[in-house]
Structure 1
Amino acid sequence: MERTELDEARLQGQAEIWRYMFSFADSMALKSAVELRIADIIYSYGGAATLSQIASCINDGLTSPDITTLARIMRLLVRRKIFTIHHPSDGRDSLYNLTHSSRWLLHDSEQSLAPMVLMENHPWQMAPWHYFSQCVKEGGDAFKKAHGCEIWDLASRNPDFNKLFNDGLACTSKVVTSAILSGYKQGFNSIGSLVDVGGGTGGLISEIIKVYPHIKCVNFDLPHVVSTAPAYNGVSHIGGDMFLAIPNTDAIIMKWILHDWDDEDCIKILKNCKKAIPKENGKVIIIEIILKEDGSGVFDEIGFILDLAMIAHTNGKERTEVEWKKILEGGGFFHYKIINIPSLLSIIEAYPDDK
């Protein structure tokens, strides 16, 4: 490599380190936009609003918004293509517009990621990321190192964190549920009863029963979780522990559950699943990320980022197909098939016996 090319490569390398060093600025700017409801404000103006209009809606009557700070945050978010900006030729104030990205930040939208943005970027959730090097050196749970307890324990005794956590998961459930219902249409037809293991406040199972009212549906999670779940027609909420026993049923569905646990715990859960379903025609529907080492799909890179989130928040991990096969067989499921859906997640349909 010639000297000029080497110098350019080193300069590019330096620029990339600066960018990664401050990459948290993107998520903090995004979080502030959600907290200030900027996307909602722009939407209320028909999809285009001036900076002054945005600021006027932020004003709560007690404080006066700093419009210069707002402009600087919006400048970065425009550069990141979260919003766009239009400069009218007649000299009027510039207009900020929504994009396909910022429409996912609308609080009242049927499908919104706003609660997840707030949850993942809350100081409670961010603190464990600072313990990665310590986890490498000595092992252990990053969340426990940061807070002195596991994430589930904090949720059970802190109502504010429990709500933040459940709201975040509920919004992602809505997003994923539409993909499941569109991509797994034939999968529910032959099921008489279905238990959503780790179903949270029942978002997924309540949508399934709307489309498949013939199914007897149970939402199963820890008692402190189901105690806050709303009532849904045709859905029974049952509190319990999936490590001890799971209610008997024709089929089990688990969305984003097994990635929270290590292989040994996943095998325990799957063995309890096997006990709960019939040997003939029983199945477990697992909805998870399947990592692809060299994947170039629209969501493939996010999978590896979420794998690090598992280090931060749980003792689990995202898995490749080979790794999924290992724990499925360990739990007594020797046959499975993968069904791709329009989502970050895929469906793994697993059976207790060869079919």
Structure 2
Amino acid sequence: MEAVTELDEASLRGQANVWKYMLGFADSMALKSAVELRIPDIIHSDGHAMTLSEIARSFDSASPCPDITCLSRIMRLLVRRNIFTAQPDGGDSGETLYGLTHSSRWLLHDSEFTLALMVLMETNPTLMEPWHYFSQCVKQGAPCAFEKAHGRDIWQFFTEKPEFNRLFNDSMTCTAKITMKAILTGYKGGFDNVATLVDVGGGTGSVVAEIVKLYPSIRGINFDLPHVVATAPVYHGVSNVGGDMFDDGSIPNTDAIFMMRIMHGWSDIDCVKILKNCRKAIPERSGKVIIVDIVLEPNGDGMFDDTGLVFDMVMIAHSSGGKERTESEWKKMLEQGGFPRYKIIKIPALSSIIEAYPV
């Protein structure tokens, strides 16, 4: 590469870009601190914009002497990132009032639709450690980054650490609510003419229960590993069936199969196995599989296209062979699994819906 002899504007922008991404972790750490301090909740509860002193006085009793200067510096960055607003209070004090934005409203702990727990999970030091092993993954391959960091895969780790398992399940429940809202408003007619619906990998059944609530004529079946469905609450119109989606004939016969954010956690080979088992469980002519997952647009400029690529990095960090996929990758995998025809339906969410048909 030829040495740069003149720091022209393009070169300076290149340098600025490197600094930006080198220190990109600072954004997530500042965001994490705001969630841990419950700053969005404090401002929301007060009902109007607040000064730093007012915010600090609302911290829990374990913080008797908060550092206002440190807080102001964190808030200054988060204002720059449009997480909070800042404006003069209009009085003689010259203090700044901090308010909520559309972004910080997604960080309210007690909101029906919140990303607060997902922020805490993804920024947890234990879950961030695998990110330091990406170069080893490139050079050495398997095992995955999480195993390199912790000596076992993420599911084993969660089994041994109930507190992490709880955080993971709670954060997944929160994000599932957000996605389900988008599905139920944006997937018009998708569940019409479905008498029986099996949610493969449905966890404790809350997702299929939401669908049945809106479509009461559907008989919902929540299908997951026996120890998972054993803890599932009772939902009207939903029955729980224990089994393994990798076992031939284990998935109950049904009109349609629903899978939300399941396929991205598995390799192509594993996904083809799952799809073949789904294929056996649905009718030849009228059956379909409804997959809710990210469809990558590497050159796209959509609202969530950049986040989709970042989520693919999350899969390197936390899964064993999982990945986010482009449409061409989905097409190839679906065909191998016995689904030669499909269509992609955009919904107002990070994920899309992929309807796959056996004929």
Structure-1-length-normalised TM-score: 0.94
2:225 matches 1:222: yes
Aligned to 2:262: 257
Offset at residue 190 of structure 1 (A): 0.7
Offset at residue 278 of structure 1 (A): 1.7
Task: Give, as a single letter, the amino acid of the residue that structure 2 aligns with 1:108.
Answer: D
Moved more, 162-171 or 197-206: 197-206
Aligned mates of 1:122, 1:239 — CA distance in 2: 31
Aligned mates of 1:70, 1:223 — CA distance in 2: 47
Matches within 5 A, 1:188-199: 188-199=191-202
Aligned mates of 1:47, 1:300 — CA distance in 2: 33
Aligned to 1:114: 116
Offset at residue 240 of structure 1 (A): 2.5
Aligned to 1:22: 23
Query: Unmatched 5+ residue regions in structure 2?
Result: none
Q: Deviations over 1:174-212 (max 9, x none)?
A: 111011011112011211111111222333212111101
Matches within 5 A, 1:17-56: 17-56=18-57
- Asked if the contact 1:156/1:224 (under 8 Å) is kept, the reply is no
Moved more, 245-254 or 196-205: 196-205
2:158 matches 1:155: yes
Aligned mates of 1:114, 1:203 — CA distance in 2: 19
- Asked if the contact 1:289/1:344 (under 8 Å) is kept, the reply is yes
2:132 matches 1:130: yes
Task: Give, as a single letter, the amino acid of the residue that structure 2 aligns with 1:306.
Answer: F
Q: Deviations over 1:43-80 (max 9, x none)?
A: 01114121112111113256432222221111111111
Aligned mates of 1:271, 1:326 — CA distance in 2: 14
Aligned mates of 1:27, 1:201 — CA distance in 2: 30
Aligned mates of 1:273, 1:298 — CA distance in 2: 32
Q: 2:325 aligns with which of 313, 319, 323?
A: 319
Aligned mates of 1:160, 1:61 — CA distance in 2: 22
Aligned mates of 2:154, 2:322 — CA distance in 1: 12
Task: Give, as a single letter, the amino acid of the residue that structure 2 aligns with 1:326.
Answer: K
Moved more, 222-231 or 276-285: 222-231
Offset at residue 235 of structure 1 (A): 2.0
Offset at residue 157 of structure 1 (A): 3.1
Offset at residue 247 of structure 1 (A): 2.1
Report the secondary structure of 1:48's partner residue. Answer: coil
Report the secondary structure of 2:223's partner residue. Answer: strand
2:101 matches 1:99: yes
2:72 matches 1:66: no
Task: Give, as a single letter, the amino acid of the residue that structure 2 aligns with 1:256.
Answer: R
Instruction: Tell me the percent identity.
Output: 63
Offset at residue 327 of structure 1 (A): 0.6
Aligned mates of 1:95, 1:223 — CA distance in 2: 52
Q: 1:281 aligns with which of 278, 283, 286?
A: 286
Q: 2:354 aligns with which of 338, 348, 355?
A: 348
Aligned to 2:80: 79
Structure-2-length-normalised TM-score: 0.93
Residues 96 and 181 of structure 1, relative CA distance in 2, 3 Å threshold: same
Aligned mates of 1:240, 1:127 — CA distance in 2: 33
Aligned to 2:205: 202
Query: Unmatched 5+ residue regions in structure 1?
Result: none
Q: How many pairs does the alignment contain?
A: 352
Aligned mates of 1:56, 1:236 — CA distance in 2: 48
Aligned mates of 2:229, 2:58 — CA distance in 1: 36
Report the secondary structure of 1:58's partner residue. Answer: coil
Aligned to 2:169: 166
RMSD of Structure 2 on Structure 1 (CA): 1.8
Report the secondary structure of 2:8's partner residue. Answer: helix
Aligned mates of 1:237, 1:67 — CA distance in 2: 51
- Asked if the contact 1:166/1:201 (under 8 Å) is kept, the reply is no
Task: Give, as a single letter, the amino acid of the residue that structure 2 aligns with 1:239.
Answer: G
Moved more, 104-113 or 68-77: 68-77
Report the secondary structure of 1:126's partner residue. Answer: helix
Residues 47 and 197 of structure 1, relative CA distance in 2, 3 Å threshold: farther
Offset at residue 340 of structure 1 (A): 1.3
Aligned to 1:233: 236
Aligned mates of 1:47, 1:203 — CA distance in 2: 34
Offset at residue 22 of structure 1 (A): 1.1
Q: Deviations over 1:203-227 (max 9, x none)?
A: 3212111101111112222344334
Residues 230 and 120 of structure 1, relative CA distance in 2, 3 Å threshold: farther
